[in-house]
Homo-oligomer: A and B are copies of this chain.
């Protein structure tokens, strides 16, 4: 998994490398010099494309990470025969990805979100927007499956909490066991509400 994707434009190389380093090492733990060295890109290019510096770059990393993960969710759900199966598939795929990257890559925004929630208000707001984007997608899918909206919102919050908590536990314990358990719990939680209209 070489970090330098040489055929991409400079701006994208910086953006993708930033995303990788931020999600693995966090915001404060990643230096701009490290990003441009690994991209690779001249240091000055970073300030050419993001005049607002580190915080502006991180805000875009959070937004694009949110869009990417939403697209992944949509693709997996649409490929599944039904929503319940799709949610189970999503947890299974998450566990496979975490293990395949040697427990480095999990949620695209969680590491940064936890670190800056109390210290960088613009980045906290960007992270909140992303979480609400994901919650909205799952909530709408549940509503489409005849779950009442208030209950769909509550279930979405629990499913996302299970996923995020499992990501942290998998990376820390270096095991996929938490993701397997969380996926089973997510399916168990959804089953009564989704079977009601089957």
Residues of chain A having any CB pair with chain B under 8 Å: 24-29, 103-104, 110-111, 113-119, 124, 127-128, 131-132, 153-155, 157-158, 160-166, 168-169, 171-174, 177-178, 181-182, 184-185, 188-189
A157-B178, A158-B162 are known contacts. Are A118 and B171 too (CB-CB below 8 A)?
A: yes
Q: Choose one: B110, B118, B119, B132; the contact of A173 (CB below 8 Å).
A: B132
A115–B124 touching, CB < 8 Å: no
Query: Which chain B residues lie closer than 8 Å to A178 at the CB level?
Result: 157, 160-161
Max count, chain B CB within 10 A of own CB: residue among A103, A166, A177: A166
Least Cβ–Cβ distance between A172 and chain B, in angstroms? 5
Q: Choose one: B103, B155, B162; the contact of A165 (CB below 8 Å).
A: B162
Can you name 8 A-B residue pairings with CB atoms under 8 Å?
A110-B114, A111-B114, A124-B174, A160-B178, A161-B169, A161-B185, A163-B165, A168-B168
Query: Which chain B residues lie closer than 8 Å to A181 at the CB level?
Result: 153-155, 157-158, 161
Number of copies: 2
Query: Which chain B residues lie closer than 8 Å to A114 at the CB level?
Result: 26, 110-111, 114-115, 168, 171-172
Query: Which chain B residues lie closer than 8 Å to A189 at the CB level?
Result: 185, 188-189
State A62–B88 Cα separation when bound (angstroms): 33
Least Cβ–Cβ distance between A177 and chain B, in angstroms? 6
